[in-house]
Structure 1
Amino acid sequence: MTPLSRMPIIRSMAGIKQFDEEETLERAMHVFWRRGYASTSMQDLAQATGVLRGSLYNAYGDKQSIFLLAFARYKQRYLAAVRERMKAADPVDALRDFFAYVIASMSEPVPPRDDTPSSSTRGCLTTKIATDETAMDDAVRHALRGMLEGLADALEERLSAPDALARLTLPPKDATRLLVTFTRGNVVMERIYHAPEELQATADTLLKILFKP
């Protein structure tokens, strides 16, 4: 018997085929995350979502359009989580919680969407797509920039609060630029070493540089 999570999500209503767009884009995101942009085909997306390839073309037009919509959902969820993690009253604790979330999100496998253990995804979706030259046209580059700029906005907002300003060793914008770049470098280090404890230790060192005791 086919597991429920593998069942097609197309349903019939008044003779018209429809599908759950939220679930479709969620599953599509996991395919791009696992396989990368270039290696993902419309047939891969059809198989993972349970939606016929022709229906995907009719609904979205092409692979890039599906990716952009899926990535927009990923961005919204990621940035909301980042802001939630930076609510600690102490600015250093807020940034430490931020790094704990970022490191966990790149280190811990994301549960698969199709009951296949090998389909687990890990790492940073943004960086994975950014290092895929075949994906980097203007539309995708704009989406990735939007993600990083959204992350910078969240960090700069927290660093501009009076409690952080009183202790920062750099202006908020400069500190933000350093933090965003640092998170991208952490992605590479995680992929090579798979050592979240080391990443957190390095993040703690950076915080000691950025904040006065």
Structure 2
Amino acid sequence: MARNKAFDETQVLDKAVELFWSKGYNCTSANDLVDTLGLSRSSLYDTYGDKHALFVKALKRYKQELGGKLIEMIEQTEDVKATIAEILQMIVEQDRTAINPKGCFMVNTAVELSGTDPEIANIVNGNRADIEKALQTAIKRGQEKGQFSSRHDPIALTRYFINTFFGLRISIKFNNDPKILKDIIEVSLSILD
């Protein structure tokens, strides 16, 4: 007869997201997992499988929760330029005052593992593709409404802003000077004029 689990799997998975996000995959040990998640090794592995399987579940959880919120924000906007500005500012504010900026779990994972792990690369690329699709639709809509210039192709603008979002996430990890970050945002938004 199977025993009921004495823990909330979703809460444990959220803790795993935070741990992997702050330490990365390779620097997270089995002891880190046991200590942070508050589970015995047997409960951890019986429920989530090995470290890699837990990491995949954590990355998918991040994609669903944070990626989903970003996509919803983009899809529901009436003012596309203002929403892009808001996203850029959110990226800055998330880590600007942190002692150890975490950046973006998805971007960190792309840098650490995408070149060596096809399963992880598929998740990272799927996340980027989902955001890109929503943003491209929004940019095209913003151009049609005259909210900003139609000088650039919507696909090219989308790729530019995806790159800016991800690049800003990396930049802020090693330089959180407000003037530099403000310059990046202002110049990025000027491309829409």
Asked if TM exceeds 0.5, the reply is yes
SS at match of 1:51: coil
One-letter amino acid matched to 2:63? K
Matched, 1:65 2:53: yes
**Per-residue Cα deviation, 1:101-141 (whole angstroms, up to 9, x for no partner):** 222234354xxxxxxxx9x7621212222222598311111
SS at match of 2:103: coil
Q: Give the CA RMSD over aligned residues.
A: 2.7
**Per-residue Cα deviation, 1:41-89 (whole angstroms, up to 9, x for no partner):** 2321121111111111111221111111111121122223324544553
TM normalised by structure 1 equals 0.77
Matched, 1:123 2:103: yes
**Per-residue Cα deviation, 1:160-193 (whole angstroms, up to 9, x for no partner):** 2122686232111111111111222212321221
Change (3 A) 1:187 1:177: same
Aligned to 1:177, which of 159, 177, 187?
A: 159
TM normalised by structure 2 equals 0.84
Identity of aligned residues (%): 25
Matched, 1:76 2:56: no
- Paired position in structure 2 for 1:146: 126
Give ranges in structure 2 of 5+ residues lacking alignment.
none
One-letter amino acid matched to 1:81? K
* Number of positions where the alignment pairs a residue of Structure 1 with one of Structure 2: 190
Structure with the bigger RCO (C-alpha within 8 Å, sep 6+) is 2
One-letter amino acid matched to 1:107? R
Change (3 A) 1:105 1:28: same
Matched, 1:101 2:90: yes
CA–CA distance in structure 2, aligned partners of residues 67 and 164 of structure 1: 43
Give ranges in structure 1 of 5+ residues lacking alignment.
1-13, 110-117
* Runs ≥4 residues deviating over 6 A: none
Change (3 A) 1:140 1:194: same
Q: 1:96: how far off? A: 0.8
Which region of structure 1 is more displaced relative to structure 2, 132-141 or 143-152?
132-141
One-letter amino acid matched to 2:42? G
Which region of structure 1 is more displaced relative to structure 2, 120-129 or 65-74?
120-129
